[in-house]
Amino acid sequence: MTKRRRARELALRILYQWDIQKGDIDSQIEDFWKQNPAHTDVQSFAARIAKGAYKHIKEIDSIIERFSENWAMDRISVVDKNIMRSSIYEMLYEKDIPSNVSINEAIEIAKKYSTEDSGQFVNGILDRVKRELECDKNKDLIEHG
């Protein structure tokens, strides 16, 4: 497993923990590392993804809601929701990471941590987000919400 895949999985676990417990993301991350030590590079990338998704959660959630037709946010599993939050954060704000990489990683993580159908569900939503981003890179997705 690559360091980045490991970091993405840990970011999912951090966001999952936050989503269940709420509270301050920084203290959640600090507590998480006490229980789940990892290499400094892995911790750094995982924390960046988790904090970024958290910081932009309202806009990311509005994107998920827009593209998940007939699925209210409260109907999407906590795991799938946080996998998509991380991936959409990467697509929007981590410009050095190709969207296809973010999507493929999200699909693999969904297959590992969620249900049998989650990979397909996550792929469908993230692919639509990617296509919209490619159609007009200069427009803000939130304006369409």
More confident residue, 49 or 1: 49
Q: 98 phi and psi, to 5 degrees?
A: -60, 140
Q: What is the pTM of this model?
A: 0.90
Weakest-pLDDT range from 78-82, 111-115, 132-136: 132-136
Burial of 106 (C-beta count, 10 Å sphere; 0-12/13-18/19+): buried
Residue 136, pLDDT score? 60
Residue 138 has pLDDT above 50, yes or no: no
* Cα gap 103→86, rounded to integer Å: 10
Please give the DSSP secondary-structure letter assigned to residue 1.
Answer: -
User: Does 35 have pLDDT greater than 80?
Assistant: yes
Mean pLDDT, rounded, for 114-143: 82
Residue 15 has pLDDT above 60, yes or no: yes
Q: Which residues contact 111 (CB under 8 A, 6 or more apart)?
A: 118, 119
Question: What does the pLDDT look like over 95-123, one tens digit per residue?
Answer: 999 999 999 999 999 999 999 889 999 99
Q: Band the pLDDT of 129: cuts 50, 70, 90.
A: very high
Whole-angstrom distance, CA of residue 142 vs CA of residue 21: 27
Domain boundaries, the chain: 3-144
Q: Please state, in angstroms and rounded to a whole number, the distance separating the CA atoms of residues 85 and 1.
A: 21
CATH code reported for the domain at 3-144: 1.10.940.10
Q: Which helix (H) or strand (E) segment is 37 a member of?
A: none
Calpha distance 36→7 (Å, rounded):
12
